[in-house]
Amino acid sequence: MDQINKVLIANRGEIAIRIMRTCRELDIETVAVYSEADRTSLHVRYAHEAYYIGKSPSSESYLNIEKIIDVAKNSGADAIHPGYGFLSENAEFAKRCTEEGITFIGPTPEVIVQMGDKLKAREAMTKAGIPVVPGTKNAIKTEEEALSVIKEIGLPVMIKASAGGGGKGMRLVHEESQVVAAARAARSEAKAAFGDDSVYIEKYINSPHHIEFQILADGHGNAVHLFERECSIQRRHQKMIEETPSPLMTQELRDKMGESAVEAAKAVNYTGAGTIEFLVDNDLNYYFLEMNTRLQVEHPITERVTGIDLVKQQIKIAEGQELEFTQEDLFQKGHSIECRIYAEDPDNNFMPSPGKIYKISEPLGLGVRTDGYVYEGYEIPIYYDSMISKLIVWGKTRDEAINRMRRALYEYKITGVKTSIKFLERIMNNRNFIDGKYDTHFIEKNQEQLALSIPCEDCDDIVIIAAFIDYLDKIDKNRENNKEFAPAQSRWKNTPIINQF
């Protein structure tokens, strides 16, 4: 295949910018697409070119295959990177790219179909000798069918979107009475997120660890894994914190699971970057859960410990190049943690908190990386995901990484909307987390401690003073002739910071 010179990024938000950064480093031109809500979004401003593709709901823009293909052809893009979410695991989209002679940066449509359908994926893995979680072999059509399956494999079970991923369209069912509502909700979410409402049922494993392996496979039969990511800290079945290495992992298990991951990739002739998700129980049994045939949100922690730019590798593989390294060249150096910053209210059931960003201070310095996309004054649209940034740290040891994450979260300030920052800070101070003792139920199990904010009595009085002085200054401005308060020196006042338009 030929060298890629211009890439259309069929995505928005932090991942669009993440991909454009690597393109820029490779001297590849970038084409952004945007919906009505995203005209002033940062990915539009970062790209070399930008084209409007439709109304704000993603079904009318970021999921509009033909419109995106049109833009790619008209702008002369020779490749499309789908990011994650949206069309990233849409086989039809990958097929249409290929038909139009545009390189799809990802696996073949056939593999996407096979792994995207969670049921077919389970079948393929079973054939390759990789353990899977007990569950239905086929999609369930009706709530009645769900009830009968549940009677067979026993409660609790997970109802999952067949086309799913990222925690969308997933419901845990403990009691029979919940089945109908849960199936409806899962279907509805699945429909909205993936345009396909079929769901299936899996046995629910107690106290599971969600551990995934990053793989890279080229078109020449070479495949490697880039070790694990521990993703068990979740809220509402969505990941919140990821780390590598996993505190649960042993070298023996790592080798075994890594081998399984590479075998899984080879079993389906996978090409590109992909992730094999496993559930691991407390006895260190592991089960194939699903394969994500795209870049993961949490890919930066793997980049940090291995030193490999995964987007760069995706592009090279899409160009038809051979992998430059073998399994023996890869090492995990130190420890990396990612915290996802959501615009949401952790004190109110993680309710999304869209709105206008007031002020941002990014954490900087040694061992800190942020991948975000919002800026001061930016209004977070209600139409898309509530994740506004990812904070990734590295430390020589897990302890150093936790301390650094604590410091970085302390420095990270986003106001105007509610965010998960303070909640993440509390997790970094949680004894069980520090000891590496957690599973996917961590947040429920530790909710009492996680609800407590750090007390600061002095701060309270100082806050009162600040508000009081601000108030005095404001009334002072209203009563120009009756000055009873001369405001303290302020550099701000004379600063023509804002280019008023």
Residue ranges in 39-58 that form contacts with other proteins under rule CB under 8 A: 39-40, 44-51
Tokens of 427: 């997790």
Specify the residue, 99 or 410, whose C-beta has the smaller distance to a second copy: 410
- Select from 379, 398, 434, 436 the one that contacts other proteins (CB under 8 A): 379
Q: Which of residues 388-407 bind a second copy (CB under 8 A)?
A: 396, 400, 403-404, 406-407
Q: How far is the CB of 26 from other proteins (least distance, A)?
A: 18
- Select from 143, 259, 319, 379 the one that contacts a second copy (CB under 8 A): 379
Mode of pairing for the β-strands spanning 335-342 and 387-395:
antiparallel
Q: Which of residues 407-426 bind a second copy (CB under 8 A)?
A: 407, 410
The contacts of residue 197 (CB under 8 Å, 6+ apart) are 161, 187, 188, 190, 191
Sign of CA dihedral 125, 127, 130, 134: positive
Answer with the entry of a second copy, other proteins, none that 453 interacts with (C-beta below 5 to 8 A by kind).
other proteins
Size of the site for a second copy (CB under 8 A): 55
Q: Is 32 in the site for other proteins (CB under 8 A)?
A: yes
Q: From the candidates 187, 294, 369, 404, give the one annotated as an active-site residue.
A: 294
Tokens of 229: 């990511």
Instruction: Please enumerate, as own/partner, the contacts of 367-372 that have beta carbons within 8 Å and a separation of 24 or more.
Output: 367/393, 367/394, 367/395, 367/401, 367/404, 368/392, 368/393, 368/404, 368/408, 369/300, 369/304, 369/393, 369/394, 370/412, 371/14, 371/17, 371/18, 371/300, 372/14, 372/341
Specify the residue, 11 or 260, whose C-beta has the smaller distance to a second copy: 11
Size of the site for other proteins (CB under 8 A): 77
Q: How far is the CB of 152 from a second copy (least distance, A)?
A: 47
Q: Which of residues 143-172 bind other proteins (CB under 8 A)?
A: 168
Kindly list the distances between the CA atom of residue 346 and the CA atoms of 209, 340, 354, 409, 443, in Å, as whole numbers in the listed order. Answer: 22, 13, 14, 15, 11
Q: Does the annotation count 407 as an active-site position?
A: no
Answer with the entry of a second copy, other proteins, none that 101 interacts with (C-beta below 5 to 8 A by kind).
none
Residues 493 and 496: their CA atoms lie apart, in Å, by 8
* DSSP state letter for 460: H
Kindly list the distances between the CA atom of residue 185 and the CA atoms of 90, 137, 154, 155, 167, in Å, as whole numbers in the listed order. Answer: 22, 21, 21, 18, 13
* Binding-residue pattern over the window 167 to 196 for other proteins, x denoting contact by CB under 8 A: -x----------------x--xx--xx---
Q: Which of residues 344-363 bind other proteins (CB under 8 A)?
A: 348, 351-356, 358-359
Cis peptide before 156 (omega within 30 of 0): yes
Q: How far is the CB of 166 from other proteins (least distance, A)?
A: 9
> What are 400's strand-pairing partners?
none
Answer with the entry of a second copy, other proteins, none that 456 interacts with (C-beta below 5 to 8 A by kind).
other proteins
Catalytically annotated residues: 294
- The site for a second copy (CB under 8 A) is made up of 17-18, 21-22, 24-27, 40, 300, 303, 307-309, 333-334, 356, 358-359, 362, 364-372, 376-379, 396, 400, 403-404, 406-407, 410, 469-470, 473, 487, 490-493, 495-501
